[in-house]
C-alpha cells in the first residue's frame, strides 16, 4: 500500500451566510462610455474617479451622490441616449466685439458660464468656464488659435471668432447658457434591466437614473413580478419623477404627479418625487432629483431600518441647500400620502430627512415601505439558497420525521440569522407532513413566517398641569 498522510480543510462550519447582495445596487443611466459588462463603482472612489469610469454624465452624478451618502458597491449599466440633449440660447454680457458659439451634443444637464479672464484675440486672450452656473470654475486657459475650445467631458465645443477690427474679447466678458440632459428610451431601459436576468451579480435594487414616467413604471412593475416568480431574483426599482415645468403652477404640478401615480400599485416600485439645489461631493452646485441621496442611504441602513430614521440619517443643510420647486414644502404631505418618496424638514431641526421610504404598494399592503420589501427579499434569497441545497435529497419514508426535520433545520438557518441581526423579531419554517406522500408527490410544501420589526412613525405628546395640593 502506497500510504501517506492526507489533509482536508473543511469550510462552512461557522455558519456564515452567502451574500444576498444587501447594500449593492444597479444603476442604469445615460453615459457616453461603452461597456459590455456592468461597471463597478466602489464607495472608496472620489468624484473624479467615478467620472473617469462612466463619463461626465447623469449616471456619474447619481453614483457620486449615492457614494457620498453611503453606497459601497454600485454596478453601472451605461445606456446610449434615445433623445439627444439640447443647447439653450446663449446670453451675452460683453464689451468685446468677437462672437461666441457652441456646438456639439451635451452629455448632461449643465448651467455653463464662459468668462474671459484676459483680454485679447484668439491665441492671446484667456478664459475659464463653469458647468454649475458659476459656483465652481476650471483653471484659466488660453483661447486657442483656431478659436475652438473643447469643454472637457461635456460633449460640447466653444467657438470664439475674432472681430475684424480687433478688441474681440475683453476681460469680464461672459457667455451663459444651459443644456438639457439626453434621455433614454423606455425600450433601452427595459433591455438593460433584462440583461440582469442571467447576471451572476448579487444586488438589492435597480435605480433608473433620469426622469421617467408612468409608462415605464408600469412596465417595470411587471418585470419586477417576473424577477420574483420566473427568475427567483427579488428586487425593487427606484425611479425619478419629473420636476415642475417653468410654466406650471405648484398646484398643477402636484395634481399632475397625483394623476401620474394612478394605476401604479406594486410593492417593488419606488418613485422619488423630490428635487433640491444640492452641493455635490466635487463642489458643483446643481438642481437635482434626490434619488441619488436616497439610494446612498440604503447602503448604510440595515434591511429593516427606515432611511427616514431621524437620529441616523440626517441630510446636512450644508449639502442640500434648499428644496425645489420653491414652496413645495406645503405639498410634501400630499405627495407622501400618494406614496412618493419625498424629503422634508422638521420644525426644530436644521437638516433634512427622508419623509418615508414609501413603495407604490396597494392599499393595505404588508409591504408599504422599502424596509418591509428589503427584509422580505433578504429572506426569499437566503432561504431559497438553502432550499436549493436540499433539492433532490433523499427522504426515508420509514423515518420521514427525521428526514424532514433535517431539511427544516437547514432552511431555518437564514431565518435565525435574520433574528440574530435584529432584522426580524422572530420567524419559523414549517413543513407540512400530515398528508405527505413523498413517494408519489415528491415535493414539500414549506411555509416561512416571520414577525417584522416595528417602527415609530408618529408620536402624540399630551401635556397637562398637575396640582399636588388638589383634593384627591
pLDDT-derived band at 224, boundaries 50, 70, 90: very high
Note the pLDDT of residue 3. 58
Note the pLDDT of residue 16. 45
What CA–CA distance (Å, rounded) separates 87 from 233?
A: 41
Are 369 and 358 in contact, with CB atoms under 8 Å apart? yes
Task: Report residue 6 as a C-alpha cell.
Answer: 492526507
Is the sign of the CA dihedral 452, 310, 42, 290 positive or negative?
Answer: positive
pLDDT-derived band at 23, boundaries 50, 70, 90: confident
What CA–CA distance (Å, rounded) separates 228 from 235?
A: 7
Q: What is the mean pLDDT of residues 231-240?
A: 97
Note the pLDDT of residue 472. 62
Q: Exposure string (b/e) for 321-349, b if CB count within 10 Å is 16 or more?
A: eebbbeebeebbeebbebbbbbbbbeeee
Note the pLDDT of residue 432. 86
Task: Report residue 245 as a C-alpha cell.
Answer: 415645468
pLDDT at 317 over 90: yes
pLDDT at 18 over 50: no
Note the pLDDT of residue 17. 47
Task: Report residue 77 as a C-alpha cell.
Answer: 449599466
Note the pLDDT of residue 11. 44
Note the pLDDT of residue 12. 46
Are 51 and 107 in contact, with CB atoms under 8 Å apart? no
Higher pLDDT, 165 or 293: 293
Note the pLDDT of residue 212. 96
Note the pLDDT of residue 9. 53
Are 97 and 169 in contact, with CB atoms under 8 Å apart? no
Q: Which of 2-11, 52-61, 354-363, 381-390 is predicted least confidently? A: 2-11
Residue among 207, 214, 210 nearest 360 (CA): 214
User: In sequence order, what are the beta bridge partners of 114?
Assistant: 129, 175
Task: Report residue 27 as a C-alpha cell.
Answer: 444603476
pLDDT digits (tens, 9 = 90+) for 448-464: 999 999 999 999 999 99
pLDDT at 436 over 50: yes
- Percentage of the chain beyond pLDDT 90 is 86
Q: How far apart are the first and last CA of the chain?
A: 97
Whether residue 427 has a cis bond before it, omega within 30° of 0: no
What CA–CA distance (Å, rounded) separates 454 from 450?
A: 12
Note the pLDDT of residue 153. 86
What CA–CA distance (Å, rounded) separates 22 from 229?
A: 20
Distances (CA, A) of 77 to 100, 179, 185, 293, 300: 36, 23, 14, 19, 22
pLDDT digits (tens, 9 = 90+) for 93-104: 999 999 999 999
What is the DSSP secondary structure assignment for residue 251, as one 8-state letter? Answer: H
Q: What is the mean pLDDT of residues 171-188?
A: 94
Q: What is the mean pLDDT of residues 230-243?
A: 97
pLDDT at 7 over 80: no
Note the pLDDT of residue 332. 98
User: In sequence order, what are the beta bridge partners of 451?
Assistant: 426
Directed axis angle between helix 400-420 and helix 370-390, to 10°? 150
pLDDT-derived band at 336, boundaries 50, 70, 90: very high
The highest-level CATH class for domain 24-81+186-354 is alpha beta
Note the pLDDT of residue 434. 84
Note the pLDDT of residue 249. 96
Task: Report residue 53 as a C-alpha cell.
Answer: 469610469
Phi and psi, residue 303, nearest 5°: -55, -40
Note the pLDDT of residue 4. 57
Q: What is the mean pLDDT of the chain?
A: 93
Amino acid at each position: 500500500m502506497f500510504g501517506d498522510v492526507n489533509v482536508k480543510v473543511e469550510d462552512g462550519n461557522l455558519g456564515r451566510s452567502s451574500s444576498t447582495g444587501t447594500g449593492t445596487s444597479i444603476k442604469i443611466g445615460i453615459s457616453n462610455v461603452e461597456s459590455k459588462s456592468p461597471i463597478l463603482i466602489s464607495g472608496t472612489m472620489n468624484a473624479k474617479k467615478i467620472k473617469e469610469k462612466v463619463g461626465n454624465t447623469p449616471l456619474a452624478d447619481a453614483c457620486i451622490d449615492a457614494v457620498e451618502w453611503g453606497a459601497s458597491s454600485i454596478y453601472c449599466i451605461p445606456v446610449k441616449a434615445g433623445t439627444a440633449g439640447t443647447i439653450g440660447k446663449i446670453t451675452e454680457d460683453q464689451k468685446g466685439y468677437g462672437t461666441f458659439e457652441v456646438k456639439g451634443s451635451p452629455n448632461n444637464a449643465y448651467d455653463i458660464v464662459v468668462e474671459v479672464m484676459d483680454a485679447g484675440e484668439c491665441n492671446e486672450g484667456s478664459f475659464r468656464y463653469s458647468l454649475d452656473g458659476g459656483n465652481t470654475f476650471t483653471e484659466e486657459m488660453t483661447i486657442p488659435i483656431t478659436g475652438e475650445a473643447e469643454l472637457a467631458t461635456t460633449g460640447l465645443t466653444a467657438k470664439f471668432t475674432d472681430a475684424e477690427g480687433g478688441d474681440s474679447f475683453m476681460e469680464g466678458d461672459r457667455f451663459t447658457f444651459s443644456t438639457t440632459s439626453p434621455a433614454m428610451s423606455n425600450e433601452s431601459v427595459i433591455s438593460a434591466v433584462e440583461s440582469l436576468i442571467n447576471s451572476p451579480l448579487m444586488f438589492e435594487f435597480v435605480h433608473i437614473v433620469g426622469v421617467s414616467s408612468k409608462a415605464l413604471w408600469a412596465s417595470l412593475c411587471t418585470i419586477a413580478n417576473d424577477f420574483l416568480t420566473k427568475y427567483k431574483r427579488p428586487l425593487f426599482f427606484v425611479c425619478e419623477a419629473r420636476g415642475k415645468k417653468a410654466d406650471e403652477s405648484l398646484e398643477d404640478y402636484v395634481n399632475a404627479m397625483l394623476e401620474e401615480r394612478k394605476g401604479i400599485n406594486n410593492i417593488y416600485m419606488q418613485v422619488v418625487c423630490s428635487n433640491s439645489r444640492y452641493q455635490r461631493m466635487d463642489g458643483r452646485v446643481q438642481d437635482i432629483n434626490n434619488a441619488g441621496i436616497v439610494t446612498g442611504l440604503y447602503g448604510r441602513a440595515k434591511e429593516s431600518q427606515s432611511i427616514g430614521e431621524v437620529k441616523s440619517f440626517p441630510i446636512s443643510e450644508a449639502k442640500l441647500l434648499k428644496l425645489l420647486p420653491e414652496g413645495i414644502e406645503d405639498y410634501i404631505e400630499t405627495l407622501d400620502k400618494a406614496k412618493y418618496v419625498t424629503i422634508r424638514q422638521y420644525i426644530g431641526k436644521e437638516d433634512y430627512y427622508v419623509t418615508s421610504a414609501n413603495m407604490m404598494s396597494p392599499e393595505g399592503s404588508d409591504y408599504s415601505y422599502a424596509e418591509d420589501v428589503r427584509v422580505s427579499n433578504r429572506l426569499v434569497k437566503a432561504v431559497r439558497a438553502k432550499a436549493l441545497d436540499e433539492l433532490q435529497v433523499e427522504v426515508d419514508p420509514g423515518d420521514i420525521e427525521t428526514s424532514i426535520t433535517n431539511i427544516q433545520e437547514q432552511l431555518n438557518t437564514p431565518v435565525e440569522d435574520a433574528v440574530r441581526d435584529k432584522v426580524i423579531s422572530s420567524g419559523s419554517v414549517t413543513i407540512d407532513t400530515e398528508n405527505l406522500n413523498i413517494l408519489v408527490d415528491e415535493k414539500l410544501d414549506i411555509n416561512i413566517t416571520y414577525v417584522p420589526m416595528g417602527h415609530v412613525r408618529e408620536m402624540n405628546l399630551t401635556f397637562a398641569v398637575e396640582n399636588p395640593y388638589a383634593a384627591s
